[in-house]
Each structure stands twice: as C-alpha cells, then as structure tokens.
Copies of this chain bind each other. A is one copy, B any other.
Amino acid sequence: MNDHRLFTILDLAGTFAFAISGAVAAKQRNLDLFGIVVIAYSVACGGGIVRDLCIGAIPPAGLANWRYLMVALVAVLVTLGAYSQVQRLNQPVLLFDAVGLGLFAVSGAQKALLYGHNAEVAILLGTTTAVGGGVIRDVLLTRVPVILQREIYASAALAGAVIEVGARTLGWATDWSPWLAMAVCIGLRYLSLQYHWHLPTYADSRIEKEPPVQ
C-alpha cells in the first residue's frame, strides 16, 4: 500500500470538507468574497500548518503545495454556487466539520509518524490538526469555540488519532485501519450531535442550572 498517496488524498479531502465548513460559516456572517476565501483557507489549512511547524516540515504543505489552495477555492465556489443544495443538507457546517475532523485526525497522525516522531507526538498532532481548523474559525468569527460545546468534539478526534497510531505502532495496520479510525471519529462526533451525547461534566449542582457558556 502506498502510504504517501493515501495520506495526500485524505489530506486533500479533509481540506475540502473544512473549507466548505469555513465558507458556509463565513457566508452566514455575510462576509465578502475575500473574507469567505480567507476564512475557508484558514479553517482548511490552519491545523495542518500548526502540525507542520511542530514536526519541522518547512515550508508547511498548506502554503507550499498549490493543491491545498486550489481545493479551498473550489470549495468556496461550490459553496457559493450551490448554496441552496449545500444548505438543504441538515446542519451542513456541522456535517462537513465532522468529516474534516475524522480525515485530519488520521492524516495528521500519519504525517507526524512519516516524519519519524513518536506515538505521543503523532496522537497529539493528529488531534491538533483536526481541532485546530474549527478553533481558528470560531476565534476569527468571534463565536463560542467548538471546544466549549457540550457535545463530543476533541475526544472524537483523539479517538481517531489513537486508533490510527495504535494500529501502526503495534503493527496491526492494514488497508482498512485508517478508514476504521476515521469512521469512529466521524461517527462519534456526528452521533453526539444528533443525540446530544456528552461526556460527564463536573459542575457543582448549584451551577448546573446556569447556561454552560456565556
């Protein structure tokens, strides 16, 4: 199996999914064409750029490889051109965000391993690659960050990264192990949104009645 090609395809697919999620969020805030492109590109490539800086992949692929910018631009055009179709998907931002989360958790972990780093670095940077885009989007759009939501988010990305890195470092990796890792991450995130699953909180009972975020 060609690891490098699989990694590239996953990374471009994640870029597309996150760019759609960023473009929809930016369009909902009524940004102009360029603002939409900037947000879509930041969401799509921000997490990967942080990962590449941390593993010493200079310059980061999101900047140096024209494919990432092209994919983000195509995602913006698709979002603007077919907005009514994109909107007809229920909660489109959340859906594409979940798909990007799973793809980036796996591809981010793979790239860190390819660069010779240990399992801990790969798990943490897989999670960072996955979570980074959404956090950047929410900080730039001055929204409540996804990490503060009650539903499962960072832990879904972590689960995907742990399965992928575990399979590889324990020698159990097969052609389908990356797909399993992605499916677990996307499934956890999407089901937690549908059924309002959430991890236990540790609030005092007197605080519990208050809204969890500002």
Contacts and interface: CB of A to CB of B under 8 A. Distances in A.
Interface stretch (A1-9, A24-32, A96-104, A170-178): A24-32
Interface in A34-64: 34-36, 38-39, 49, 53-56, 58-60, 63-64
Interface stretch (A11-19, A142-150, A161-169, A179-187): A142-150
Contact of A30 (B29, B117, B203): B203
Interface string A52-78: 011110111001101001000000000
A34 B154 contact: yes
Contacts of A83: 202
A38 B131 CA distance: 10
A89 interface: no
A94 B141 CA distance: 20
A121 B80 contact: no
A214 B142 contact: yes
Contact of A35 (B125, B139, B147): B147
Nearest to A42: B147
Nearest to A45: B124
A158 interface: yes
Given A32-B200, A154-B35, A120 B54 contact: no
Contacts of A118: 64
Nearest to A211: B30
Interface of A: 27-36, 38-39, 49, 53-56, 58-60, 63-64, 66, 69, 80, 83, 117-118, 120-121, 124-125, 131, 135, 139-142, 144-145, 147-148, 150, 152-155, 158, 198-203, 207-208, 210, 212-214
